[in-house]
Structure 1
Amino acid sequence: MVDSLEISIMALKMLQNSALTHRSIKVSMIIVLGVMITLGNIAVLLVITSSVAGWSRNSRYFLLSLAAADSAFGLLVMPLNLCVSLLKDHTEGPDALCHVVAFCNASVYSTCMYTLAMISLERYVAVFYPLQYSSLMTRRRTLLLIAFAWCFPPCLLSPISFPGGIIEVHFSTASLVCNPSYSTNVGYSLSLTCVIFFPCSIVMTYANLRVWCAAKRQRLKLRRRGCVLVGRRHVASRVLVPVMAAYFTCWTPCMAAMIYNAVSGSSVPEWIEFVVVWLPTSNGFLNCIFYFWMNRSFRRKFYLVLQRLAMTLCPDLANALGWCSASSTQCVSGILDNNNSVHERSSSVSSTCTLLTLA
């Protein structure tokens, strides 16, 4: 009898140690991902707050909105969930803070999806209606679309923020996230996917597929006329395909797990839940790569911004790197970039990349 009790105690201690080890690994992964997302989007914001060659004003507005939404993953979502995970005791069940954190999580996720759909829609208009672009995508309409992407999700998801309301919220020890209890709110869970995920996915898929097909057809015509080099890479494929692949890879498992949880009433295994819940946040880092770093104008402008920061904060380092002359702070030719001399075009950055493919 005593031996069996000791064995049970030892097994319980091993389980606790294993849970603590898994928890430490998860927290470390979340912190690393948060730092990557934050640094990547801060670099993006430093560049696109000023004009970039080939990027119109509307494009910069949409991309600023996307960078801000992605930054919220690292600056808001991750710190809030880590605080709840590390500082609170969850044996007593959910409280008001957990409801607020779950509301912030869902709002940021939804805003990112809507912003990506708006960017795809703007790209579609720029490519297929270039002559009507200025009248269709006015500054007022652009700001209204951005406002809709930021304001509609909080209004739609507001029931999550009220403790004791129609939406139950729990803290998941598997994913270290405050989430609504989808199994007890099946109708609300399915309505969220029908109002947010599926409409955004349809808009993105249709718009990007049309742009990609148009670019491919035009490229084939120009190739037959000898206007395009055969060995030149297809820029539309290099940008649009990774963007859509990253979007569905990051978001589909999370939505599928949420629907499975709502319909079946049971949760997925621990590590699968952790991966699918935090996978959408990695889309905030991948957006930096596909929408910004793969663009030559952005890389060139980032290099100029980095040089200016180095010359302002550490002129000795800038001189050592050859960015400025040794006798003065006047920069070597090619470093200065006058933003006022950049003529903004009436096409988006994405459509510009696509049209450059056709030239």
Structure 2
Amino acid sequence: MIETGTPSMFGGTEPAHCTVCCCTLTNKILMVLFMVLLILAILFGNLVTLAVILGTKHFKTSQGYLKASLAVADLVVGIFVVPVSVYAEVYLMVTDSAPEWTSYNSQSVNFHPCNIIGPIFAGCTFVSITTIFLLTIERSIAVLRPLHKDSVITRKRTMILIVLSWVGSFFLAVSPMVFSSEIALEYNSCSRMCNYALGNIGEFPSQAWNILLLFPVFDFTLLGGTVVINIISLSSIRQHSRRRKHLAEAECQSTTKPTFSDIKAAKTIGALTVAFTASFTPIAVFVVGNVLGNKWCNFSFFAFWILATNSCWNVIIYSVRDQKFRLRAHKLLMPFQRKDSTKT
């Protein structure tokens, strides 16, 4: 998942930079090893998440479908985005020269891999942000308005919102190329990813800046709203926990109060929000630096790849926070142990 909409390039093509990750052969090997391990972690974690959610009746809820959508977005990053970077870097190590397509932007050739990978990376990032926002809304209704949860949150409405989030996110991802002829895509030698860049002009025109600024505005708006809603929900949970200590148990179990599972789920979504916000913050700093004229090549690599690693964190958070998810995942991964236990 990523914020590829940052104006990280100030020229159509640039020579390869000696960044902290790629100056020596050892660093190059470590970088490729990190990318390969990241692919494996993303694929393993999100496939387990999908297997648990779609294969267990307990998780086939509105919240479960939103988590499945989030897992699919992360899975796409592991299948399409990161492998392109691995290919480019391995090719560079083996032949001592980068693939030819990395030397040109998408306006210089008829077909450029970044024309596909760039929007996929950006679109999946937007899907992740939108889905976390929807998860936060869903949990806030369950916590703040438990009596209205079943009538407001339905599977049909959730599926419609998921489809709209994917369509809207990918429309936003391709909008720079649709609405501006100056914006292209290229494989950036700093971030080691497909990023939005200039075409064949020397500096960003105001129109291109306005289009690219849609990306951080969209991200900051949704993340800011998500954080605020989480604070309200968690504050309500804290007040509810205090009341439980002073009320009789019968009153504590009143249907007007959120259930324990709703509270637990709200805290899990809060943890997801914190993880995504932390991984997105370096990109936000990088955007501001670019606006001020700083290229920050080394920082570019760390900012983009810190965000990419967020694609494998969700399953860890679910496993730590949700006991039912953890037990179901354990059964899926330990089939032989399950057979032995049934015999005894």
TM-score range, shorter chain: 0.7 to 0.9
Give the Cα–Cα distance (whole angstroms) in 2 for the partners of residues 131 and 318 of structure 1. 39
- Spell out the pairing of 1:49-68 with structure 2 (5 A cutoff): 49-53=54-58, 55=59, 57-68=61-72
Q: CA RMSD in A?
A: 3.0
| Amino acid corresponding to residue 282 of structure 1 in structure 2 | T
TM-score normalized by structure 2?
A: 0.75
Shift of 1:143: 0.8
| Matched positions, count | 294
Give the distance between the partners of 1:246 and 1:91, measured in 2 at CA.
32
Cα distance in 1 for residues equivalent to 2:24 and 2:209: 30
TM-score for the superposition, normalised by structure 1? 0.73
The equivalent of 1:346 in structure 2 is none
Q: How does 1:1-359 map to 2 (within 5 A)?
A: 18-53=23-58, 55=59, 57-87=61-91, 88-89=99-100, 92-95=103-106, 96-160=112-176, 165-181=181-197, 184=204, 185-195=208-218, 197-225=219-247, 239=268, 242-261=271-290, 263-270=291-298, 272-307=299-334, 309-310=335-336, 322-325=340-343
How far 1:186 sits from its partner (Å)?
A: 2.3
Q: How far apart are the structure 1 equivalents of 2:42 and 2:144?
A: 33
Partner of 1:323, secondary structure, is helix
CA–CA distance in 1 between the matches of 2:118 and 2:35?
A: 17
Q: Deviations over 1:188-242 (max 9, x none)?
A: 22221112x11221231122111110110111122244869xxxxx968964553
What CA distance in whole angstroms lies between the structure 2 residues aligned with 1:116 and 1:241? 9
- 8 Å CA contact 1:159–1:166 kept in 2: the answer is no
Please give the alpha-carbon distance, in whole angstroms, between the structure 1 residues aligned to 2:237 and 2:34. Answer: 39
| Aligned residue type for 1:187 | N
Could you tell me how far apart the structure 1 residues matched to 2:324 and 2:152 are? 25
1:284 Cα deviation from its structure 2 partner: 1.9
Are the aligned partners of 2:183 and 2:197 in contact in 1 as well (CA < 8 Å)?
yes
Letter in 2 for 1:223: K
Question: Are the counterparts in 1 of residues 136 and 229 from structure 2 also a CA contact under 8 Å?
Answer: yes
Contact kept, 8 Å, 1:117 with 1:203, in 2: the verdict is: yes
Q: Distance in 2 between matches of 1:161 and 1:30?
A: 28
CA distance in 2, matches of 1:240, 1:119: 7
Aligned partner of 2:109 in structure 1 is none
Contact 2:318 2:326 in 1 (8 A): no
Could you give the per-residue CA deviations for residues 276-324 of structure 1, whole angstroms, max 9, x where no partner exists?
A: 10111222222112234420111222233335x44xxxxxx766xx234
Partner AA of 2:215 in structure 1:
L
Q: Deviations over 1:10-54 (max 9, x none)?
A: xxx9x9x8354433322221111221121111111111112354x
Q: Percent identity, please.
A: 21
Aligned-partner residue type, residue 128 of structure 1? L
Q: Which runs of 5+ in 2 are unaligned?
A: 1-17, 92-98, 107-111, 253-262
